[in-house]
Structure 1
Amino acid sequence: MNPTINTSMKAKAVLHAIIDPLCGWCYAAAPLLDAAANAGFEITLHAGGMLTGPRRKQIDSQWRDYVMPHDQRIAALTGQAFGENYYEGLLRDTSIVLDSAPPIRAMLAVYALGGNDLAYLHAVQLAHYRDGKCASDEPNLQVLAEKMGLDGAAFAKEFAQNEDAFYQHILASRALMNQLGAQGFPSVALATSEENLRLLNHSRFYGHPSEWLVYLNEQVS
Protein backbone atom coordinates (compact mmCIF):
# COMPACT_ATOMS: atom_id res chain seq x y z
CA MET A 1 0.00 0.00 0.00
CA ASN A 2 2.86 2.36 -0.72
CA PRO A 3 1.30 5.50 -2.22
CA THR A 4 4.53 6.44 -4.02
CA ILE A 5 4.48 5.61 -7.73
CA ASN A 6 7.65 3.97 -8.93
CA THR A 7 7.82 3.09 -12.60
CA SER A 8 11.17 1.29 -12.45
CA MET A 9 10.01 -2.23 -11.70
CA LYS A 10 11.53 -5.65 -11.31
CA ALA A 11 8.22 -7.40 -12.00
CA LYS A 12 6.82 -7.41 -15.52
CA ALA A 13 4.58 -4.48 -14.59
CA VAL A 14 2.80 -2.85 -11.68
CA LEU A 15 -0.95 -2.46 -11.37
CA HIS A 16 -2.01 0.39 -9.12
CA ALA A 17 -5.48 -0.42 -7.79
CA ILE A 18 -7.46 2.38 -6.13
CA ILE A 19 -9.95 0.59 -3.93
CA ASP A 20 -12.08 0.72 -0.84
CA PRO A 21 -12.74 -2.32 1.38
CA LEU A 22 -16.45 -1.41 1.60
CA CYS A 23 -16.91 -0.98 -2.15
CA GLY A 24 -18.90 -3.83 -3.70
CA TRP A 25 -17.40 -3.28 -7.13
CA CYS A 26 -13.93 -3.62 -5.61
CA TYR A 27 -15.08 -7.05 -4.43
CA ALA A 28 -16.16 -7.67 -8.03
CA ALA A 29 -12.64 -6.83 -9.18
CA ALA A 30 -10.94 -9.16 -6.66
CA PRO A 31 -10.62 -12.08 -9.12
CA LEU A 32 -9.02 -9.75 -11.67
CA LEU A 33 -6.42 -8.53 -9.18
CA ASP A 34 -5.75 -12.08 -8.01
CA ALA A 35 -5.29 -13.29 -11.60
CA ALA A 36 -2.86 -10.47 -12.33
CA ALA A 37 -0.89 -11.13 -9.14
CA ASN A 38 -0.68 -14.84 -9.92
CA ALA A 39 0.54 -13.99 -13.43
CA GLY A 40 3.46 -11.99 -12.04
CA PHE A 41 2.10 -8.46 -11.96
CA GLU A 42 2.94 -6.49 -8.85
CA ILE A 43 -0.19 -5.07 -7.22
CA THR A 44 0.02 -1.80 -5.31
CA LEU A 45 -3.13 -0.93 -3.39
CA HIS A 46 -4.31 2.63 -2.78
CA ALA A 47 -7.31 2.90 -0.46
CA GLY A 48 -9.45 5.95 -1.11
CA GLY A 49 -11.64 6.12 1.98
CA MET A 50 -15.05 5.93 0.34
CA LEU A 51 -16.98 5.79 3.63
CA THR A 52 -14.94 7.83 6.07
CA GLY A 53 -15.67 10.80 8.29
CA PRO A 54 -18.99 12.40 7.31
CA ARG A 55 -19.41 9.79 4.56
CA ARG A 56 -19.76 6.92 7.04
CA LYS A 57 -23.06 5.14 6.60
CA GLN A 58 -25.39 3.70 9.20
CA ILE A 59 -27.19 0.68 7.83
CA ASP A 60 -30.91 1.20 7.34
CA SER A 61 -33.60 -0.08 4.99
CA GLN A 62 -32.78 2.57 2.39
CA TRP A 63 -29.12 1.52 2.31
CA ARG A 64 -30.11 -2.13 2.00
CA ASP A 65 -32.48 -1.35 -0.87
CA TYR A 66 -29.73 0.69 -2.55
CA VAL A 67 -26.90 -1.84 -2.35
CA MET A 68 -28.74 -5.12 -2.92
CA PRO A 69 -29.36 -4.67 -6.68
CA HIS A 70 -25.66 -3.81 -7.12
CA ASP A 71 -24.63 -6.84 -5.07
CA GLN A 72 -26.91 -9.12 -7.07
CA ARG A 73 -25.51 -7.75 -10.33
CA ILE A 74 -21.95 -8.31 -9.08
CA ALA A 75 -22.80 -11.89 -8.14
CA ALA A 76 -24.32 -12.51 -11.59
CA LEU A 77 -21.38 -10.95 -13.44
CA THR A 78 -18.53 -12.44 -11.45
CA GLY A 79 -19.73 -15.35 -9.35
CA GLN A 80 -18.51 -13.59 -6.21
CA ALA A 81 -20.29 -14.90 -3.13
CA PHE A 82 -22.85 -12.88 -1.17
CA GLY A 83 -24.05 -14.93 1.75
CA GLU A 84 -27.29 -15.20 3.66
CA ASN A 85 -25.56 -13.81 6.77
CA TYR A 86 -24.75 -10.69 4.73
CA TYR A 87 -28.14 -10.17 3.12
CA GLU A 88 -30.31 -11.14 6.09
CA GLY A 89 -27.89 -10.40 8.92
CA LEU A 90 -25.46 -7.56 8.33
CA LEU A 91 -27.71 -5.58 5.97
CA ARG A 92 -30.57 -5.75 8.49
CA ASP A 93 -28.49 -4.72 11.49
CA THR A 94 -29.27 -1.04 11.93
CA SER A 95 -26.74 -0.74 14.77
CA ILE A 96 -23.87 -1.08 12.28
CA VAL A 97 -22.06 2.01 11.01
CA LEU A 98 -20.07 1.27 7.86
CA ASP A 99 -16.71 3.02 8.13
CA SER A 100 -13.85 2.45 5.71
CA ALA A 101 -11.23 3.71 8.15
CA PRO A 102 -10.82 0.55 10.28
CA PRO A 103 -10.28 -1.88 7.38
CA ILE A 104 -7.91 0.53 5.65
CA ARG A 105 -5.92 0.97 8.83
CA ALA A 106 -5.90 -2.81 9.19
CA MET A 107 -4.54 -3.17 5.65
CA LEU A 108 -1.81 -0.65 6.44
CA ALA A 109 -0.96 -2.58 9.61
CA VAL A 110 -0.75 -5.86 7.71
CA TYR A 111 1.51 -4.26 5.10
CA ALA A 112 3.74 -2.71 7.78
CA LEU A 113 4.12 -6.12 9.42
CA GLY A 114 5.22 -7.72 6.15
CA GLY A 115 1.90 -9.37 5.33
CA ASN A 116 0.20 -9.61 1.95
CA ASP A 117 -2.20 -6.67 1.86
CA LEU A 118 -3.99 -7.92 -1.27
CA ALA A 119 -4.70 -11.30 0.33
CA TYR A 120 -5.81 -9.53 3.48
CA LEU A 121 -8.14 -7.21 1.55
CA HIS A 122 -9.77 -10.21 -0.06
CA ALA A 123 -10.12 -11.94 3.30
CA VAL A 124 -11.87 -8.83 4.64
CA GLN A 125 -14.17 -8.73 1.60
CA LEU A 126 -15.10 -12.41 1.93
CA ALA A 127 -15.76 -12.05 5.65
CA HIS A 128 -18.01 -9.06 4.98
CA TYR A 129 -19.93 -10.06 1.86
CA ARG A 130 -19.97 -13.84 2.19
CA ASP A 131 -19.98 -14.37 5.95
CA GLY A 132 -21.73 -11.20 7.14
CA LYS A 133 -18.89 -10.16 9.49
CA CYS A 134 -18.71 -6.38 9.32
CA ALA A 135 -15.49 -5.07 7.77
CA SER A 136 -15.61 -2.03 10.05
CA ASP A 137 -15.41 -4.15 13.22
CA GLU A 138 -11.91 -4.04 14.73
CA PRO A 139 -12.07 -7.45 16.47
CA ASN A 140 -13.06 -9.07 13.14
CA LEU A 141 -10.11 -7.37 11.47
CA GLN A 142 -7.65 -8.68 14.06
CA VAL A 143 -8.99 -12.22 13.75
CA LEU A 144 -8.45 -12.09 9.99
CA ALA A 145 -4.88 -10.85 10.47
CA GLU A 146 -4.19 -13.68 12.90
CA LYS A 147 -5.61 -16.20 10.41
CA MET A 148 -2.96 -14.93 7.96
CA GLY A 149 -0.30 -15.86 10.51
CA LEU A 150 0.37 -12.39 11.89
CA ASP A 151 0.87 -11.86 15.60
CA GLY A 152 -2.32 -10.44 17.07
CA ALA A 153 -0.58 -8.20 19.61
CA ALA A 154 1.75 -6.79 16.97
CA PHE A 155 -1.20 -6.14 14.67
CA ALA A 156 -3.16 -4.40 17.44
CA LYS A 157 -0.17 -2.20 18.29
CA GLU A 158 0.44 -1.23 14.66
CA PHE A 159 -3.27 -0.56 14.13
CA ALA A 160 -3.45 1.66 17.23
CA GLN A 161 -0.58 3.89 16.13
CA ASN A 162 -1.20 4.29 12.38
CA GLU A 163 -3.92 6.96 12.37
CA ASP A 164 -1.59 9.60 10.90
CA ALA A 165 -0.33 7.14 8.29
CA PHE A 166 -3.95 6.40 7.41
CA TYR A 167 -4.76 10.07 6.76
CA GLN A 168 -1.62 10.52 4.66
CA HIS A 169 -2.47 7.39 2.69
CA ILE A 170 -5.98 8.63 1.94
CA LEU A 171 -4.66 12.00 0.77
CA ALA A 172 -2.12 10.33 -1.50
CA SER A 173 -4.74 7.95 -2.93
CA ARG A 174 -7.11 10.79 -3.72
CA ALA A 175 -4.29 12.76 -5.32
CA LEU A 176 -3.57 9.74 -7.50
CA MET A 177 -7.22 9.57 -8.51
CA ASN A 178 -7.08 13.22 -9.55
CA GLN A 179 -3.84 12.64 -11.44
CA LEU A 180 -5.39 9.78 -13.40
CA GLY A 181 -8.79 11.40 -13.85
CA ALA A 182 -10.27 8.32 -12.18
CA GLN A 183 -14.01 8.53 -11.52
CA GLY A 184 -14.55 6.05 -8.72
CA PHE A 185 -13.73 2.76 -7.04
CA PRO A 186 -12.15 0.60 -8.17
CA SER A 187 -9.82 2.26 -10.62
CA VAL A 188 -6.85 0.37 -12.03
CA ALA A 189 -3.77 1.90 -13.64
CA LEU A 190 -0.78 0.24 -15.28
CA ALA A 191 2.84 1.26 -15.02
CA THR A 192 5.64 -0.42 -16.96
CA SER A 193 9.31 0.43 -17.32
CA GLU A 194 8.59 1.89 -20.78
CA GLU A 195 5.43 3.86 -20.06
CA ASN A 196 3.95 6.34 -17.68
CA LEU A 197 1.10 5.42 -15.39
CA ARG A 198 -2.17 5.12 -17.30
CA LEU A 199 -5.73 4.22 -16.45
CA LEU A 200 -7.11 0.89 -17.73
CA ASN A 201 -10.67 -0.06 -18.63
CA HIS A 202 -10.92 -3.05 -16.32
CA SER A 203 -14.70 -3.12 -15.87
CA ARG A 204 -15.40 -4.89 -19.17
CA PHE A 205 -13.49 -7.90 -17.84
CA TYR A 206 -15.60 -8.53 -14.73
CA GLY A 207 -16.12 -12.27 -14.59
CA HIS A 208 -13.51 -12.90 -17.28
CA PRO A 209 -10.07 -13.06 -15.61
CA SER A 210 -8.51 -15.04 -18.47
CA GLU A 211 -9.47 -12.36 -21.00
CA TRP A 212 -8.22 -9.74 -18.56
CA LEU A 213 -4.80 -11.40 -18.50
CA VAL A 214 -4.67 -11.46 -22.31
CA TYR A 215 -5.46 -7.74 -22.29
CA LEU A 216 -2.82 -6.99 -19.65
CA ASN A 217 -0.15 -8.89 -21.51
CA GLU A 218 -1.02 -6.98 -24.67
CA GLN A 219 -0.54 -3.72 -22.78
CA VAL A 220 2.97 -4.63 -21.64
CA SER A 221 4.17 -6.34 -24.82
Structure 2
Amino acid sequence: MSKFLYIADPMCSWCYAFSLELQKLLDRIPHAELDIVLGGLRAYNTEVMDDDTRQMILSHWQRVQEVSGLPFDMNGLNKPGFIFDTEPACRAVVAVKLLADDLDAKQILNVFRAVQHAFYAQGLDVTKDEVLAQVCVDALNQGQGDGAFDVASFLETLQAPSTREETRLHFEQIQRWGIRGFPVLCLVKESGLHMIASGYAKLEQVEANLLELIGS
Protein backbone atom coordinates (compact mmCIF):
# COMPACT_ATOMS: atom_id res chain seq x y z
CA MET A 1 0.00 0.00 0.00
CA SER A 2 1.30 3.44 -0.95
CA LYS A 3 1.70 5.99 1.84
CA PHE A 4 2.21 9.67 1.18
CA LEU A 5 3.27 12.59 3.34
CA TYR A 6 1.85 15.95 2.33
CA ILE A 7 3.61 19.03 3.73
CA ALA A 8 1.49 22.11 3.19
CA ASP A 9 -0.31 25.12 4.63
CA PRO A 10 -4.04 25.74 3.97
CA MET A 11 -3.34 29.43 3.33
CA CYS A 12 -0.54 28.78 0.82
CA SER A 13 -1.89 29.56 -2.65
CA TRP A 14 0.28 27.02 -4.47
CA CYS A 15 -0.90 24.41 -1.95
CA TYR A 16 -4.47 25.39 -2.88
CA ALA A 17 -3.63 24.67 -6.51
CA PHE A 18 -1.72 21.47 -5.81
CA SER A 19 -4.31 19.92 -3.49
CA LEU A 20 -6.56 19.38 -6.51
CA GLU A 21 -3.79 17.44 -8.25
CA LEU A 22 -3.19 15.45 -5.06
CA GLN A 23 -6.90 14.62 -4.89
CA LYS A 24 -6.68 13.27 -8.43
CA LEU A 25 -3.69 11.14 -7.45
CA LEU A 26 -5.55 9.65 -4.49
CA ASP A 27 -8.54 8.95 -6.74
CA ARG A 28 -6.24 6.79 -8.87
CA ILE A 29 -4.74 5.01 -5.85
CA PRO A 30 -7.86 4.36 -3.75
CA HIS A 31 -6.15 2.48 -0.92
CA ALA A 32 -3.31 4.93 -0.44
CA GLU A 33 -2.63 6.40 2.98
CA LEU A 34 -1.99 10.10 3.51
CA ASP A 35 -0.59 12.05 6.41
CA ILE A 36 -0.46 15.84 6.46
CA VAL A 37 2.21 17.89 8.22
CA LEU A 38 1.31 21.55 8.56
CA GLY A 39 3.85 24.03 7.31
CA GLY A 40 3.18 27.32 9.09
CA LEU A 41 3.77 29.56 6.08
CA ARG A 42 3.06 32.79 7.97
CA ALA A 43 2.41 31.35 11.40
CA TYR A 44 2.16 33.76 14.33
CA ASN A 45 2.27 36.82 12.08
CA THR A 46 0.94 39.88 13.97
CA GLU A 47 1.26 42.64 11.36
CA VAL A 48 -1.85 44.14 9.80
CA MET A 49 -1.67 43.75 6.04
CA ASP A 50 -0.75 46.97 4.23
CA ASP A 51 -1.70 47.87 0.66
CA ASP A 52 1.67 46.99 -0.85
CA THR A 53 1.61 43.52 0.66
CA ARG A 54 -2.01 43.05 -0.40
CA GLN A 55 -1.24 43.94 -4.01
CA MET A 56 1.80 41.69 -4.04
CA ILE A 57 -0.25 38.74 -2.79
CA LEU A 58 -3.11 39.43 -5.20
CA SER A 59 -0.74 39.45 -8.17
CA HIS A 60 0.59 36.10 -6.93
CA TRP A 61 -2.97 34.76 -6.64
CA GLN A 62 -3.71 35.82 -10.20
CA ARG A 63 -0.78 33.76 -11.41
CA VAL A 64 -1.93 30.73 -9.41
CA GLN A 65 -5.45 31.14 -10.79
CA GLU A 66 -4.14 31.22 -14.35
CA VAL A 67 -2.13 28.04 -13.84
CA SER A 68 -4.68 26.05 -11.85
CA GLY A 69 -8.04 27.33 -13.10
CA LEU A 70 -9.34 27.34 -9.51
CA PRO A 71 -11.68 30.10 -8.25
CA PHE A 72 -10.34 33.03 -6.22
CA ASP A 73 -12.24 35.74 -4.37
CA MET A 74 -9.85 38.63 -4.84
CA ASN A 75 -11.77 40.70 -2.26
CA GLY A 76 -10.95 38.29 0.55
CA LEU A 77 -7.94 40.30 1.67
CA ASN A 78 -9.81 43.60 1.93
CA LYS A 79 -11.12 43.08 5.45
CA PRO A 80 -10.12 46.00 7.72
CA GLY A 81 -7.26 45.07 10.02
CA PHE A 82 -6.68 41.70 8.34
CA ILE A 83 -3.64 39.84 9.69
CA PHE A 84 -2.32 37.06 7.44
CA ASP A 85 -1.62 34.56 10.22
CA THR A 86 -1.70 30.96 9.00
CA GLU A 87 -1.41 29.33 12.45
CA PRO A 88 -5.18 29.12 13.08
CA ALA A 89 -5.87 27.39 9.74
CA CYS A 90 -3.02 24.95 10.35
CA ARG A 91 -4.29 24.36 13.87
CA ALA A 92 -7.76 23.57 12.51
CA VAL A 93 -6.34 20.73 10.43
CA VAL A 94 -4.39 19.49 13.43
CA ALA A 95 -7.66 19.53 15.42
CA VAL A 96 -9.28 17.41 12.72
CA LYS A 97 -6.42 14.91 12.91
CA LEU A 98 -6.78 14.73 16.70
CA LEU A 99 -10.58 14.39 16.69
CA ALA A 100 -10.95 12.01 13.79
CA ASP A 101 -7.80 9.95 13.52
CA ASP A 102 -9.76 7.17 11.81
CA LEU A 103 -10.45 9.27 8.70
CA ASP A 104 -9.08 7.90 5.46
CA ALA A 105 -6.76 9.87 3.17
CA LYS A 106 -9.51 11.38 1.02
CA GLN A 107 -11.55 12.56 4.01
CA ILE A 108 -8.56 14.26 5.61
CA LEU A 109 -7.73 16.00 2.36
CA ASN A 110 -11.38 16.98 1.88
CA VAL A 111 -11.33 18.92 5.15
CA PHE A 112 -7.98 20.49 4.29
CA ARG A 113 -9.37 21.55 0.91
CA ALA A 114 -12.54 22.87 2.55
CA VAL A 115 -10.43 25.33 4.55
CA GLN A 116 -8.60 26.31 1.37
CA HIS A 117 -11.87 26.79 -0.52
CA ALA A 118 -13.31 28.90 2.30
CA PHE A 119 -10.33 31.24 2.19
CA TYR A 120 -9.56 31.43 -1.52
CA ALA A 121 -12.90 30.89 -3.26
CA GLN A 122 -15.32 32.25 -0.66
CA GLY A 123 -13.20 35.00 0.87
CA LEU A 124 -13.90 33.85 4.43
CA ASP A 125 -11.58 34.93 7.23
CA VAL A 126 -10.00 31.63 8.22
CA THR A 127 -7.79 33.35 10.76
CA LYS A 128 -10.91 33.28 13.00
CA ASP A 129 -11.47 30.17 15.11
CA GLU A 130 -15.27 30.39 14.84
CA VAL A 131 -15.11 30.45 11.04
CA LEU A 132 -12.68 27.53 10.95
CA ALA A 133 -14.81 25.46 13.32
CA GLN A 134 -17.86 25.84 11.10
CA VAL A 135 -15.95 25.08 7.91
CA CYS A 136 -14.30 21.97 9.35
CA VAL A 137 -17.45 20.62 10.97
CA ASP A 138 -19.42 21.07 7.75
CA ALA A 139 -16.72 19.19 5.82
CA LEU A 140 -16.49 16.44 8.43
CA ASN A 141 -20.25 15.95 8.58
CA GLN A 142 -20.44 15.81 4.82
CA GLY A 143 -18.23 12.75 4.95
CA GLN A 144 -19.42 11.22 8.23
CA GLY A 145 -23.09 12.17 8.24
CA ASP A 146 -24.96 15.11 9.77
CA GLY A 147 -24.50 15.40 13.50
CA ALA A 148 -21.30 13.38 13.72
CA PHE A 149 -19.44 16.53 14.77
CA ASP A 150 -20.66 19.80 16.29
CA VAL A 151 -19.15 23.26 16.20
CA ALA A 152 -18.96 23.79 19.96
CA SER A 153 -17.00 20.61 20.58
CA PHE A 154 -14.71 21.23 17.64
CA LEU A 155 -14.07 24.78 18.81
CA GLU A 156 -13.11 23.45 22.25
CA THR A 157 -10.54 21.14 20.68
CA LEU A 158 -9.34 23.84 18.30
CA GLN A 159 -8.60 26.23 21.15
CA ALA A 160 -7.15 23.67 23.57
CA PRO A 161 -3.54 24.27 24.68
CA SER A 162 -2.65 20.72 23.60
CA THR A 163 -3.81 21.45 20.04
CA ARG A 164 -1.78 24.66 19.95
CA GLU A 165 1.26 22.72 21.16
CA GLU A 166 0.75 19.94 18.62
CA THR A 167 0.54 22.56 15.87
CA ARG A 168 3.78 24.14 17.03
CA LEU A 169 5.43 20.72 16.88
CA HIS A 170 4.37 20.42 13.25
CA PHE A 171 6.13 23.69 12.48
CA GLU A 172 9.26 22.60 14.33
CA GLN A 173 9.37 19.33 12.41
CA ILE A 174 9.26 21.22 9.12
CA GLN A 175 12.15 23.39 10.28
CA ARG A 176 14.19 20.33 11.28
CA TRP A 177 13.66 18.89 7.82
CA GLY A 178 14.89 22.16 6.32
CA ILE A 179 11.76 22.70 4.23
CA ARG A 180 11.13 26.35 3.44
CA GLY A 181 8.62 26.18 0.58
CA PHE A 182 5.26 24.45 0.10
CA PRO A 183 3.71 22.21 -1.04
CA VAL A 184 5.90 19.11 -0.77
CA LEU A 185 4.69 15.57 -1.41
CA CYS A 186 6.75 12.56 -0.36
CA LEU A 187 6.39 8.84 -0.74
CA VAL A 188 6.98 7.10 2.58
CA LYS A 189 9.15 4.00 2.30
CA GLU A 190 11.11 1.91 4.79
CA SER A 191 14.23 3.70 3.60
CA GLY A 192 12.74 7.08 4.48
CA LEU A 193 10.93 9.94 2.77
CA HIS A 194 11.28 10.25 -1.00
CA MET A 195 10.17 13.54 -2.56
CA ILE A 196 7.92 13.26 -5.60
CA ALA A 197 6.78 16.89 -5.77
CA SER A 198 8.26 20.13 -4.50
CA GLY A 199 6.12 23.11 -5.37
CA TYR A 200 3.13 22.99 -7.68
CA ALA A 201 3.03 20.12 -10.16
CA LYS A 202 0.38 18.61 -12.39
CA LEU A 203 -0.85 15.06 -11.78
CA GLU A 204 1.01 13.76 -14.82
CA GLN A 205 4.36 14.98 -13.48
CA VAL A 206 3.68 13.61 -10.00
CA GLU A 207 2.77 10.22 -11.44
CA ALA A 208 5.90 10.19 -13.61
CA ASN A 209 8.06 11.00 -10.57
CA LEU A 210 6.30 8.31 -8.55
CA LEU A 211 6.77 5.65 -11.23
CA GLU A 212 10.42 6.58 -11.61
CA LEU A 213 10.94 6.26 -7.86
CA ILE A 214 9.12 2.93 -7.65
CA GLY A 215 11.08 1.64 -10.63
CA SER A 216 14.39 2.58 -9.04
**Counterparts in 2 of 1:185 and 1:203: CA distance versus 1, 3 Å:** closer
- 1:155 aligned residue: 154
Distance apart, 1:172 and its partner CA: 4.1
- 2:195 aligned residue: 199
- 2:124 aligned residue: 133
Instruction: Output the TM-score relative to the length of structure 1.
Output: 0.79
**Counterparts in 2 of 1:177 and 1:80: CA distance versus 1, 3 Å:** farther
**Letter in structure 1 aligned against 2:87:** A
* Identical amino acids, percent of aligned pairs: 23
Matches within 5 A, 1:22-41: 22-40=11-29, 41=32
- 1:171 aligned residue: 169
**Letter in structure 2 aligned against 1:192:** K
- 1:146 aligned residue: 137
The equivalent position to 1:93 in structure 2, one of 76, 79, 85, is 79
Counterparts of 1:77 and 1:29 in 2: how far apart (Å)? 10
**Counterparts in 2 of 1:141 and 1:172: CA distance versus 1, 3 Å:** closer
CA contact (8 A) 2:196 2:209 kept: no
- 1:5 aligned residue: none
- Match of 1:98, SS state, is coil
- 1:182 aligned residue: 179
Distance apart, 1:59 and its partner CA: 2.4
**Counterparts in 2 of 1:121 and 1:138: CA distance versus 1, 3 Å:** same
**Counterparts in 2 of 1:57 and 1:34: CA distance versus 1, 3 Å:** farther
Counterparts of 1:56 and 1:71 in 2: how far apart (Å)? 22
The equivalent position to 2:214 in structure 1, one of 198, 207, 220, is 220
- 2:95 aligned residue: 109
Distance apart, 1:215 and its partner CA: 3.1
**Letter in structure 1 aligned against 2:49:** I
Matches within 5 A, 1:12-23: 12=2, 14-23=3-12
Distance apart, 1:131 and its partner CA: 0.7
Counterparts of 1:197 and 1:69 in 2: how far apart (Å)? 34
Instruction: Output the TM-score relative to the length of structure 2.
Output: 0.81
**Letter in structure 2 aligned against 1:200:** I
Distance apart, 1:156 and its partner CA: 1.7
- 1:8 aligned residue: none
CA contact (8 A) 1:17 1:46 kept: yes
Matches within 5 A, 1:1-20: 11-12=1-2, 14-20=3-9
- CA RMSD in angstroms comes to 2.2
Q: Structure 2: give runs of 5+ residues left out of the alignment.
A: 142-148
CA contact (8 A) 2:18 2:200 kept: no
**Letter in structure 2 aligned against 1:124:** V
Distance apart, 1:47 and its partner CA: 0.8
**Counterparts in 2 of 1:56 and 1:209: CA distance versus 1, 3 Å:** farther
Query: When the two structures are aligned, how many residues end up with a matched partner?
Result: 200
Distance apart, 1:177 and its partner CA: 4.6
**Counterparts in 2 of 1:44 and 1:58: CA distance versus 1, 3 Å:** same
CA deviation profile, 1:157-196 (whole Å, cap 9, x unmatched): 21122x33433443344334533x4331222222124x32
**Counterparts in 2 of 1:70 and 1:98: CA distance versus 1, 3 Å:** same
Show structure 1 runs of 4+ deviating over 4 A.
none
